[in-house]
Structures are given as C-alpha cells and as structure tokens.
Amino acid sequence: MTNTQGNSYFAHPTAIVESESIGEGTKIWHFAHVRRDSKIGRGCNIGKSVYIDIGAVVGDNVKIQNFVSVYKGVVIEDDVFVGPSATFTNDLYPRAFIWDEEHVSPTRICRGASIGANATIVCGITVGEYAMIGAGSVVAEDVPAYALILGNPGRQKGWVCRCGHRLKVVLHDDSSNTLYKCSSCGMDVQIAKKA
Ligand SMILES: [Zn+2]
C-alpha cells in the first residue's frame, strides 16, 4: 500500500496501521498494531503482534521481532534489532489508580544497538550505539556505546564490535581510550574511558 506521504510499504491484512508515517519498503506483519502519531522509518521489519504506541518513534532499517510493544516515550534509532518478546516500559511509578498520559520517562535506543529476546528495558535510560543487551537481561541504567550487558540486574561484561562479536584483542591502551581489534571482522574500535 501507499500512504499519504507517497511511501509504499507492506502491511499484512490483519495488521492495524493508523499512522501515516511509515517509510518506504517497511514490512508490517500479522496482527501488528501501529497507532496514530507514531513514526516508522524506511526498510523496517515489524513482526507479528508488535504494538507501536502513539508517539513512539522507530528509525530506518530497524528489526522488531514478534510480540514486542514499543510504548510512547520510546525512540529507536536506525539499524536497531529488538528481539522477540523484549519489553519496554514508560512509567517509573506505575499505579493502576494514578495514571497520567503525559508523564512518561523517555527511553532512547541508539543506532545499531541490539536488544536480546525477552530483555526488559526499564524506562528513562539511553542504550548507546552498537551496545548489545543479552537475552533476558533487565536494564535500568544508561548503557555505554559498544557495551555488552548481561543478567538481572544488567551488568557490563565487556565490549562488542559493530558486527556483534565480543572485543578481546587490545591494540592500544592509555588513560583516555582503549583501542580494540575485532577478531571476527577485523574492524578497529576505540572505546573512550570514563572521566
Ligand atoms: Zn567485528
């Protein structure tokens, strides 16, 4: 189908798409629900039963696997992978009897990051570029770029390359940076140390 912006995308007949902001070439699969005023970029894959809330933002070339809900306040940048049944939240003080639509704690998943199956991303944090969140991890604090986070509570267990493999080979190390070489793809990755 083609939307009012002239972009052609695929939506399975069982999907409910209320947003006009769907990018060229995006595919939206069975029983997904994309609410009004949400935004999905180009070349995305939105899996079965995915829910994209009002105001949620999804960049280009993002893969969202089955049964993920992306709530208002969540921004997912380009090239992010969200594994099946991963969970986002948007309310740090959830009470059934106190509810304010406007009170959401924003969450940002930066370019190229991956979130493993069934991981929980507690709202109000930023997951840095190319970070890797292991399956089932519970993450409630900001994650540095290229960090590998595992467990509950999520703890940093190392660094990963853009290709997703763990960085182990140190080429250079000084007080401000460590330079790694990826033994899988050969890329050099510089990791800044905290001040
Ligand atoms: Zn690599």
Q: What is the pLDDT of residues 144-194, one digit of tens each?
A: 999 999 999 999 999 999 999 999 999 999 999 999 999 999 999 999 988
Which tokens hold the place of 55? 């105001």
185 CA distance to ligand 1 middle (Å): 4
Residue 99: its pLDDT value, please? Answer: 76
Which tokens hold the place of 143? 């994650």
174 CA distance to ligand 1 middle (Å): 22
CA angle 91, 146, 78 (to 5 degrees): 65
162 CA distance to ligand 1 middle (Å): 6
136-142: Cβ within 8 A, 24+ apart? none
Q: What is the dihedral of CA 99, 104, 105, 106, to 10 degrees?
A: 160
129 CA distance to ligand 1 middle (Å): 14
89 CA distance to ligand 1 middle (Å): 31
158 CA distance to ligand 1 middle (Å): 14
φ/ψ of 123, rounded to 5, equals: -70, 165
Q: Whole-structure pTM over 0.85, yes or no? A: yes
Collect all residues with Cβ–Cβ distance below 8 Å to 74 and sequence separation of at least 6.
53, 56, 57, 88, 90, 106, 107, 108, 109, 123
Instruction: Name residue 34's beta-bridge partners.
Output: 17, 52
Residue 3: its pLDDT value, please? Answer: 83
18 CA distance to ligand 1 middle (Å): 39
Amino acid (1-letter code) at residue 99: W
pLDDT tens column, 48-79: 999 999 999 999 999 999 999 999 999 999 99
More confident residue, 24 or 93: 24
- H/E segment holding residue 73: none
73 CA distance to ligand 1 middle (Å): 31
Do the Cβ atoms of 117 and 65 come closer than 8 Å?
Answer: yes
165 CA distance to ligand 1 middle (Å): 6
Instruction: Name residue 64's beta-bridge partners.
Output: 46, 82
pLDDT tens column, 83-142: 999 999 999 988 888 877 778 999 999 999 999 999 999 999 999 999 999 999 999 999
Question: In the 8-state DSSP scheme, what is residue 20?
Answer: S
